[in-house]
Structure 1
Amino acid sequence: MNRLNGKTAVITGGATGIGRAAAKRFIDEGAFVFIFGRRQEALDAAVAELGPNARAVKGSVSDLADLDRLYAAVKAERGTVDIVFANSGAGGQLRLGEITGEHIDEIFDTNIKGAIFTVQQALPLMREGGSIILTGSSAGTTGAPAFSAYSASKAAVRNLARTWAEDLKGSGIRVNVLSPGPTATELAKEALGEEGMKAFASLNPLQRMADPAEIGAVAAFLASQDSSFMTASEVAVDGGLAQL
């Protein structure tokens, strides 16, 4: 299947987890992919696995100069960008009464400011038929204990798609939200351990965590013309967690 043949994609948070799985799927379907992240070692490992149709740029989504370097690299090699997957995310647990300014800043700088500027800086390179995908979360719908800042940030991401669909009216560029539930990424495995993974898996009707490749498959759908009549939508890939 070559739904993305000849397309150029940018994926932030693309070195590991959902971003890396999406990059692999995009390339398998014919795209050329730029991955963006903060850890050079992880970026190098991802490009080695992804092959000749992948490039890596190091930087932070909350730093405009870093994003400008990313899109300068895209412009120099490819000219335009067809797909932007704003996937970088930050999270952490602090209950009400314990929340600090630093905690809020870290999460909002990545999840909201980072998403806004990842998309905004890409727009001059995008053309009709482009697809913007924002990573939301089941937590943006349900909330979760001790995840005030994270849940609020993902609810905000959902609203960004609604607002931007209006702002982009007439451009031919679509914007949608992909909202995973608990996913068995490298970070989740390290943070939760085996018992924590089992506990999270038990929360949804399918009684398991998602494989990152399952999320990447839906990202490829949203990136492709198979979803050509979708904008301002949210696609939940959460095993039913936030649907019941």
Structure 2
Amino acid sequence: MSRLQGKTAVITGGATGIGLAAAQRYVEEGAFVYIFGRRQDTLDAAIDILGGPSKAHAIQGSIANLDDLDHMYAAIKAERGSLDIVFANAGTGSQLNLGEITVEHCDGILDTNIKGTIFTVQKALPLLKSGSSIILTGSSAGTTGSPAFSLYAASKAAVRNLAKTWAEDLKGTGIRVNVLSPGPTATELAKTALGEEGVKAFGAMNPLQRMADPAEIGAVAAFLASSDSSFMTASEVAVDGGLAQI
């Protein structure tokens, strides 16, 4: 496949899980990919998986740190001149029941999932052009809610609304913005955290009776990045096995 031939993409949270699966698919389809994440050792391992520096570059940083985002986009501008795809995928979540929520819990989730997403996209705008695609990672939790995940669910509902509003803001630019909303996905982190029985339990919650493979989410990220989705903007694509749809 070569739907993304000659394109330049950036993926935040691109060193593991869904982000890495999307990066692999982007590289397979011809894109050069920048992955952005917190841990240098994980980034280095991901670059090896992606095929080395001829296929992808890694930049260390946090989307909650605006200086790190500035550094990333300055490097991309110097090396590539422009961007075609922004996959704002980095996010975080942790459980606290109502009555136990702390200011630190709020700040940690909202700074990353909302503020980080906003500035990941806003700071990319000078590098984007007509035909560029912005993809935001939502979640089935943003539609259904989830016990003890109120801040995470609220942040992902906000991401959905950011895309709808930004589609209006981007009228006339030719830049599209859509949301990719996975359900439970069998990343290495999830499998380690849940264990075999937990993976089965989460899988049983949707009509397809299993968790997603990260590659299945990456395939949809490639679709949204490509001209195959050229008449889509302000859309949310659920890749959740039907979890939030019925």
Which TM-score bucket, shorter chain as reference? over 0.9
Corresponding residue for residue 111 of structure 1: 113
Distance (Å, rounded) in 2 between the aligned partners of 1:155 and 1:46: 30
Question: TM-score, length-normalised on structure 1?
Answer: 0.99
Letter in 1 for 2:30: G
Distance (Å, rounded) in 1 between the aligned partners of 2:189 and 2:106: 20
SS at match of 2:119: helix
Match of 1:120 among 119, 122, 127: 122
Corresponding residue for residue 39 of structure 2: 39
Distance (Å, rounded) in 1 between the aligned partners of 2:121 and 2:179: 13
Matches within 5 A, 1:1-244: 1-51=1-51, 52-244=54-246
SS at match of 2:136: strand
Letter in 2 for 1:95: N
Which 5+ residue runs of structure 2 have no aligned equivalent?
none
SS at match of 2:177: strand
Shift of 1:76: 1.0
Which 5+ residue runs of structure 1 have no aligned equivalent?
none
Distance (Å, rounded) in 2 between the aligned partners of 1:118 and 1:10: 10
Compute the RMSD of aligned alpha carbons. Answer: 0.6
Letter in 1 for 2:5: N
Distance (Å, rounded) in 2 between the aligned partners of 1:105 and 1:185: 25
SS at match of 1:190: helix
Shift of 1:190: 2.1
Letter in 1 for 2:18: I
Distance (Å, rounded) in 2 between the aligned partners of 1:156 and 1:187: 25
Shift of 1:195: 1.5
Q: Percent identity?
A: 78
Distance (Å, rounded) in 2 between the aligned partners of 1:91 and 1:192: 15
In the TM superposition, structure 1's runs of 4+ consecutive aligned residues that sit over 6 Å from their partners are none
Letter in 1 for 2:225: A
Q: Deviations over 1:197-231 (max 9, x none)?
A: 11101100000000000000000000000000000
Distance (Å, rounded) in 2 between the aligned partners of 1:12 and 1:46: 13
SS at match of 1:11: strand
Q: Deviations over 1:128-167 (max 9, x none)?
A: 0000000000000000111000000000000000000000
Distance (Å, rounded) in 2 between the aligned partners of 1:100 and 1:189: 28
Question: TM-score, length-normalised on structure 2?
Answer: 0.98
SS at match of 2:123: helix
Distance (Å, rounded) in 1 between the aligned partners of 2:98 and 2:237: 29
